[in-house]
Copies of this chain bind each other. A is one copy, B any other.
Amino acid sequence: MKPISETGFIVWFRRESMASISIREVAARAGVSRATVSRVLNGNTEALVAEPTRSRVRQVAIELGYHPSAVARGLAGKPMNTVGVVMAYDLPSVTSDPFLGPVLDGILEANKRHHQKTVLFTEDNWQSAFANLPIYCDGHCDGLLLIAPRTDSEIIPALLRGSRPFLLLGDSREVPGLSCVDIDNGNIAREVVEHLIAQGHRRIAIFCGNADFTSSAQRLQGYRDALEASGLPYDESLVFPGEYWEWSGYENAEKLLRLPAEQRPTALFCSNGRIALGALRALTDRGVLVPQELSLACLGDNMEIASTQPPLTAAHVSLRQVGERAVETLLGQIHAGLPSGSRTLLPAELVLRESVAPPPSR
């Protein structure tokens, strides 16, 4: 009774009572060893098996409805064909977030194309994400996509110390050996500001995003680069710290309007669309005409921005594409053994709408 599990009886028993049948049953029914079944059904080893055996095994596998267990396979060191996505957010909705939503769409799309499953790890904050790091690395997935951690998160050095492939999405800090896929914050911001300068503006304000996001500093730098390239002075009174939220744009616009007339800028660059939306609302509330009195442009685009009054000039970035490229880069690291440490910075396209005009003549 030792090899009972090889008998027909047990095959029948398994089929009826358990979920799935294993390589054992296929081997027994086909009259070959488990190794042979494995060779036939997996990877590129079919060639090692003689044709009659091969087709018999195939036949039996289909008859029995056999399908290998990814878990067992994973344990044996094969890839799980699964991409993990770690995101920490304190938002009520992931899907309707203008950043997370499109990025997730891109990730899902690319994973579908590459026959990868997607495991989502959602956390309230980066502390708990860090605490749960071991869970993300418990074998469930072959690699990790980290979405936009703050600059101070310990999670990155921890992951860097480990050996699991991962990359940063929506953050492009420069750290040796760290892969990331992001939009090209600096250059995109520069282009937007250059457009304002080309329209004749000399005093241009910037509303910044969260100070602890890498992107904020990069966008500010782009703003500085544009000014410098045109020989315009960098005036700190025109730099408004803030956060990537509508309320921040609103508040900063109110502050901006309190500046004495001669110090007031003629154009405003908002670090993202939500800030721009808030700023526009404040300006409208105060009766400031856009673009007649103040031109407004921002980085980042979404449907709402195009349907404001006036529609906003903005750098259109494809966050969806960021998600797709992130997946492809990670898969390269996992399966093709590409080295980590690559930086992919996607460009934007400036969309001219009606919120920018030449400065008013004094």
A residues adjacent to B (C-beta < 8 A): 17-20, 65, 67-72, 74-75, 80, 82, 92-96, 100-102, 104-105, 108, 111-112, 117-124, 134-135, 137-140, 162-164
Contact = CB atoms under 8 A, between A and B. Distances in A.
A118 B120 contact: yes
26 contacts: A17-B163, A18-B163, A19-B164, A20-B134, A65-B134, A67-B134, A67-B138, A68-B138, A70-B139, A71-B71, A72-B139, A75-B75, A82-B119, A93-B102, A95-B96, A95-B102, A95-B104, A96-B96, A96-B101, A96-B105, A101-B101, A108-B122, A117-B119, A118-B119, A119-B120, A120-B120
Given A71-B75, A71-B140, A134-B67, A111 B117 contact: no
Contacts of A111: 120, 122
Contact of A70 (B93, B95, B104, B138): B138
Contacts of A18: 163
B138 A69 contact: yes
Stoichiometry, as copies per complex, reads 2
Contacts of A101: 93, 95-96, 101
A101 B100 CA distance: 12
A188 to B, nearest CB: 23
Contact of A82 (B17, B108, B140): B140
Contacts of A105: 92-96
Contact of A140 (B93, B104, B117, B135): B117
Most chain B beta-carbon neighbours within 10 Å: one of A68, A95, A121, A135: A95
Contacts of A69: 75, 138-139
Contact of A163 (B19, B82, B108): B19
Contacts of A74: 71
A162 B96 contact: no
A162 B140 CA distance: 23
A70 B19 contact: no
Contacts of A118: 119-120, 122
A162 B93 contact: no
5 shortest interchain CB distances as A-B pairs: A67-B134, A71-B139, A95-B95, A95-B101, A70-B138
Contacts of A17: 163
Nearest to A100: B95
A162 B19 contact: yes
A138 B137 CA distance: 19
Contacts of A140: 70-71, 80, 82, 117, 140
A137 B72 contact: no
A134 B120 CA distance: 21
A93 B104 CA distance: 9
Contacts of A80: 71, 140
A292 B135 CA distance: 59
Contact of A137 (B67, B120, B139): B67
